[in-house]
């Protein structure tokens, strides 16, 4: 089938299998490999992207289901090589180690602050519950997110 999507602000038309998952479409058809696949159980959040501004796990939806939507991936955040405040905060606060979870974390955190601009530490931890990190112990991730919101982690 023919699929029309806007991806990172650019209209994209592709011929896809109706059963193709959005994450596979992004990675395999469009070559946007910043979005990761970390599980096959919808639990890790490594595949998180923004769909019309809301964070979704892109392994849980078919590409065909989101026809006509605007999808933002990690590649769509930094404009002209300039990191977004959230990306910069992950860098500054060492909110990553191996980096596998990072694009999903940054997308989920970006969406979280859209919803709750001044979250408490508790709200950040709860908001990122769907994103797993095996490396950092989460503390520096929470610190990074709170720093963008102007707060501090305990």
Residues 50-79 that bind ligand FES (CB under 6 A): 57, 59
- Give the C-alpha separation, 138 to 120, whole Å: 15
Task: Determine, following the binding rule CB under 6 A, whether residue 108 of this chain makes contact with ligand FES.
Answer: no
Residue 103 near residue 35, CB atoms below 8 Å: yes
Query: 3-state secondary structure string, 80-141?
Result: CCECCHHHHHHHHCCCCCCCCCHHHHHHHHHHHHHHCCCCCHHHHHHHCCCCCCCCCCCHHH
Biggest alpha carbon–alpha carbon distance for the chain: 51
Q: How far is the CB of 31 from ligand FES (least distance, A)?
A: 18
9: left (phi over 0), alpha (psi -120 to 50) or beta: left
Considering only 98, 120, 126, 129, the residue that binds ligand FES (CB under 6 A) is: 98
Task: Determine, following the binding rule CB under 6 A, whether residue 135 of this chain makes contact with ligand FES.
Answer: yes
Helices and strands counted in the chain (H then E): 5, 5
Residues 1-60 that bind ligand FES (CB under 6 A): 37-39, 42-47, 57, 59
Closer of 9 and 137 to ligand FES (Cβ): 137
Q: How many residues bind ligand FES (CB under 6 A)?
A: 22
Q: How far is the CB of 121 from ligand FES (least distance, A)?
A: 19
Closer of 27 and 147 to ligand FES (Cβ): 27
Closer of 40 and 80 to ligand FES (Cβ): 40
Pair of tokens at residue 101: 């979870």
Task: Determine, following the binding rule CB under 6 A, whether residue 134 of this chain makes contact with ligand FES.
Answer: yes
- Contact residues for ligand FES, defined by CB under 6 A: 37-39, 42-47, 57, 59, 96-102, 133-136
């Amino acid at each position: 089938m023919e699929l029309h999507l806007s991806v990172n602000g650019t209209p994209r038309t592709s011929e896809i299998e109706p059963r193709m998952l959005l994450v596979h479409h992004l990675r395999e058809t469009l070559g946007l490999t910043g979005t990761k696949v970390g599980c096959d159980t919808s639990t890790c959040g490594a595949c998180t992207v923004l769909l019309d501004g809301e964070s979704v796990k892109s392994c849980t939806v078919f590409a065909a289901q989101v026809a006509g939507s605007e999808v933002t991936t990690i590649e769509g955040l930094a404009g002209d090589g300039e990191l977004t405040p959230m990306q910069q905060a992950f860098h500054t606060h060492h909110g990553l180690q191996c980096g596998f979870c990072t694009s999903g974390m940054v997308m989920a955190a970006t969406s979280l602050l859209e919803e709750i601009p001044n979250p408490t530490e508790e709200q950040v931890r709860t908001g990122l519950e769907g994103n797993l990190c095996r490396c950092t112990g989460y503390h520096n991730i929470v610190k990074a997110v709170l720093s963008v919101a102007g707060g501090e982690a305990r």
